[in-house]
Amino acid sequence: MKRILFLLYLGFGVVAGGHAQTDVTTRYVKNASMESGFKNWTNEGLQLQSNTDFAYKAGTLYAEKWVSSNNYVGDASLSQTLKNLPAGKYQLKVGAQNLSQSSPSTQCAGAYIYADEQKTSVYTPGEYAVDFSTLTGTVKIGFKASGARGNWLAVDNFRLYQVAEIDNQELVDSLARQIVRSDALAQEEMDAAILATLTTVTNEARSLSAESEQATLQSALVALNTAVEKALFAVRLSQATPGTGTAPKVTATNHYVITGATQALMRATMTGSNILERGVCWSTEHNPTVLDNRTTDYYTCSGSLYHLTGLTPATVYYLRPYVMNKTYTVAYGDEVKIVTHPKGNCSWSWNEGAPNVAANVRCRLAIEETIDYFNEWTGIRGFTLTGNYGADTPTADCSYGGWMRIGPNAAYQAIGTVLHETGHGVGVGTSSRWWDTDFHNDRWFGREANRIYQFLENQEGNANYYMKGDRTHGWGNGAQYDWFVNGADKDKHVAIQYIGGCALLYGFFVDGLCPTSGHPNGVSGYTYNMEDTATYYLMCKDAERGLNTGLMTITKVLGTNKLGVSYCLNAEDTIPAEAAWKLEFDAQAGKYLLRNAAKGTYVSHSGTSFTFKTKASETEQFQLMPDRTDVTLTNNGANIQTHGYWLTWYADGNKALSANPKSATGTCTVENFSTSNSATKQQWIILTAEEVTKLKPAHVTGIEQLHVETEEVGVTPTYNLQGQSVAPATKGLKVQQGKVIYEK
């Protein structure tokens, strides 16, 4: 009998509860015992540990969270979504604990392992199991602590066993039940596109039978479940009622959004009674709704930071925050346009020089995860982090270019320390621009990094919140987190700290800090949030080159079209139509293009001059780097507080678009790029048509002739600055016979 049982064990794994169990861990669970750190897992608040204090670990590493005795460990989580499981019944086994070291036998509440909706509470150290079934083949598993009452959480050694198969007929029966629901929903009022998808998916499900491949049946069931769920949601929206209490409302939308390559963070303020959901919806089209993509996921960080995932790199999206009550009344906030970064291509290596496996694993994984964060959030390319073990290195260090040493202290063999040191590798405290007092003199003067910092701290526009530092390190004034992890004790081991740190590095790069020699002007990005169809005007920030008085235009010099400045904001002058520009943005390159609204041609640059082309290529692209000093435009009694941008590119050296003084025919020229605050002739203010209207004096010679209202024949066609036809007597700036004029 013992021999027979042994053979059964070889064939089926273990026998428990009367059911044969097949161990399928290696097929479906990735990195089941943390030997590759948190790769393939979503971790919040846990750290890797290599000691032997947790008896139920497997291999070298396990995940833990610890606080001192007589304190509560609180929240933490670890999860992974399993895919392509055969339809069947399963058991998940995990080594875990939620331990109070001051009272080891106490069953502390607040922690559990789970598989989808099935849970098993975790108390003292031991093996825990949860049983579950799946038809679709997709299951989320994990460990979660919510207000856990122990002081030491530990988890490791996830194992998955298939207990029983589910045959195709059960899948077909499940499809049939969903088809009945689908047919009933199809009779209800809902969004037309949702109904069309429901109809298509349902008809595909009708065509299947028990003879179909199981994978096909599972795929159809997933699609039908999704379509039915979305259709039910659409029906509820169409039948929404106001409900009781205070109506839902988005009272404030933060128009600044932190973007990565495939993720984004957004803030908004919502109010209302009986709230069902708060979140953000998005689409690649204007006016997204909750029937498009939506998320309710958020980080708690001085309020809620809504976390968007699954975006496509280098893509334009439109976002709206929303709040929905329990009777499905939805209120939306403002639409915000974002452009995701191109995915970075940073790389890494580790020399495996540490004296033991655990130290090598910790260092290697910290480097790998840091580079993953960099590729998502910083947008830099061509950077390699070269990790080396330093037996005599007390903590860790890194030189500009990415040569890093990590010492024997395990506390520094962690992602927070590696992220901090990698900051030095890309210019923090190691680059000439970090020491340039126009950029940094106790406080950082660049706009982008400070705006990102204010966003992270939920202090938008608060001048008391800014990035600062000494000649070596950077930190935030009044920060809730040490975003750059200036010490192992500052590492909170939470994703939002690492995301925030990388986002701030991106801000430094946009402001002009050079992460590599391949980024001589920092990193180009979407720095001016333009409207898709609007017309813009450019004004040189230099007092002798058009500040308050002139606009960039195309002008004739000796019969040749030249880029220049028209001094056209005085009362007696008209604004030439060629002073109006369309902005375009190449998301993959992170560069802007200037297309003349009147002529339809692009400004093209070289190392020495400007020309005009009808088709755009790399020589028509400009990096818009924000300047660091404000200016107030006062012409015509206006009070417009604004700033400028350098329009830069690289052509055998850094170049910039510069204006000649008025005495030199008012043309524009190519100059070597100067990052000095005093280089105002290279700094350009971008103005909307509305702002130009405020700057233009109301009295314009000859304007009275447009007030002919009795003549219908021969009325001159008149257009607004967006190219739309308007009545001749319409007030404000408009285009008539190729001239921009002002009607009071």
Each residue of 338-361: pLDDT tens digit? 999 999 999 999 999 999 988 999
For the chain, which residues make up each domain, given as ranges? 2-165, 168-238, 249-339, 347-511, 536-695, 703-743
State both tokens at 475. Answer: 């930190």
The reported pLDDT for the residue numbered 740 is 54
Contact residues for 596 (Cβ-Cβ < 8 A; gap 6+) = 554, 578, 580, 581, 582, 602, 603, 612
Tokens 């980080």, residue located: 299
The reported pLDDT for the residue numbered 667 is 87
The reported pLDDT for the residue numbered 323 is 98
The reported pLDDT for the residue numbered 18 is 47
Rounded to whole angstroms, how far apart are CA atoms 120 and 400?
A: 49
Looking at the DSSP bridge assignments, the partners of residue 153 are 65, 98
The reported pLDDT for the residue numbered 224 is 97
The fold of the 536-695 domain, in CATH, is Trefoil (Acidic Fibroblast Growth Factor, subunit A) (2.80.10)
The reported pLDDT for the residue numbered 10 is 29
The reported pLDDT for the residue numbered 101 is 96
User: Please, what is the average pLDDT of the chain?
Assistant: 91
φ and ψ at residue 154, rounded to 5 degrees:
-150, 145
The fold of the 2-165 domain, in CATH, is Jelly Rolls (2.60.120)
Low-confidence stretches of the chain (pLDDT < 50) are: 1-18, 699-715, 721-723, 742, 744
The reported pLDDT for the residue numbered 709 is 32
Number of Cβ within 10 Å of residue 672's Cβ equals 12
Number of Cβ within 10 Å of residue 5's Cβ equals 10
The reported pLDDT for the residue numbered 8 is 27
Q: 249-339 — its CATH code? A: 2.60.40.10
The reported pLDDT for the residue numbered 651 is 85
Query: Which of 336, 289, 298 minimizes the C-alpha distance to 317?
Result: 336
β-strands 645-650, 683-688: how paired? antiparallel
What is the DSSP secondary structure assignment for residue 5, as one 8-state letter?
H
